[in-house]
Amino acid sequence: MPFDINKIREDFPILHRTVEGAPLVYLDNAATSQTPRCVVDNISRMYYEHKANVHRGVHTLSQEATDLMEEARRKVKCFINATSTEEIIFTRGTTEGINLVASSFGDSLCNGDEIIVTVMEHHSNIVPWQLLQRNRRIVLRVIPIDANGDLMLDAYEDLFTDNTRFVALTHVSNVLGTVNPVKEMIAIAHRHGVPVLIDGAQAVAHRPVDVTDLDADFYAFSAHKMYGPVGVGILYGKRRFLENLPPYQGGGEMIGQVSFEKTTFADLPYKFEAGTPDYVGIAAMTAAIDYINGIGLDNIAAHEQELLKAATSRLMEIPGMKIFGTSAGKEGVISFLVDGIHHYDMGMLLDKMGVAVRTGHHCAQPLMHTLGIEGTVRASFAAYNTMEEVERFTAAVARAAAMFHK
């Protein structure tokens, strides 16, 4: 389909509001993307027409809700090319998916076992592994980056020892925009007999993801970063791992039989889905995936690359500009600082001009420490952003910089 930016923008009413008297320029998409009308309409229909608990009732409403939720599971399976719906687990987001794996896989770890992560990880892919250190006394080993923000693959290979048990790494850095060579990195780990989890939160809305081609053992992502509802996520896991892992939580839905003497667990994927799920949001994720497919991920990627290139060029014309993350082929994320201006001050001034960006450490404090800074200003693009917005954003940064450099 042709890429019609005006038509796309009409699907997002929030983009037509003003902030501080100026038209909104929303560039905080790496934190959360906006939601098109079709997804919100789907949520409304679920509440108004199909609200009933899933998998537990023989009545019509329950069956309808169950069918809509399971259709979402089938849609996700196709979206990431998993081999079975049984490999698709619904969570509350990427964070819960990673915690699930860390907790369940962590049951098999013991003193001295090693987990490899990268220095660019979001806290969600650091802290869960650190929590295991208290009881399991595992060791985290960290892959460094070079001056461009690319992972050092030679150093990665050197980190493997006889004690390496797991690799957990991000597909795309939420700070640097670096697209990691995860297929190659998975292959390296598998040569050592080590499974791999990929944090795909920053990837799935911006590029096609094929978990079968990647040969990923686990892949986690969130709906709210891909034009979907908040509070819904996906954990993909290869069946052979999921069958052997213990449940993450206990309760209703995930059981086979319960007695006071013994409990057996449900088959996949329900073994990992305790309690009443957010079936309304899960069903709405179907609309988000359909929306992305309707535009085309290749079209989205090409458009965002044009925005990234133009914004980078214009920003570098500003005196004192420093961009963090210059990897070739990076995603549409720009983290920057201007000499003498605190990232928070820059963010506040941009907001006064109607431009929404993220400031701070972006839940990546170890990376900030490596870069020798406290935080950055981050602009991140989505399918609905325009070249006009790039011009307004870069002009606003230049104006804010001039205020400090008089």
Q: Which residues are catalytic?
A: 363
- The H or E element containing residue 234 is strand 233-237
Which residues lie across from 255 on neighbouring strands? 265
**Signed CA dihedral, 179, 182, 184, 188: sign only:** positive
CA distances from 259 to 76, 256, 262 (A): 34, 10, 5
Nearest C-alpha neighbor of 140 from the set 113, 122, 158? 113
Nearest-angstrom CA–CA distance, 400 and 379? 15
Query: What are the tokens at 252?
Result: 């209703």
> 170 φ, ψ to 5°?
-85, 145
Q: How many other CB atoms are there within 10 angstroms of residue 159's CB atom? A: 16
Query: What are the tokens at 173?
Result: 């850095």
Which residues lie across from 338 on neighbouring strands? 321
Burial of 236 (0-12, 13-18, 19+ CB in 10 A): buried
Scanning the structure block, which residue is given the tokens 């199909």?
50
Strands 358-360, 376-380: pairing is: antiparallel
- Biggest CA-to-CA distance, the chain: 76
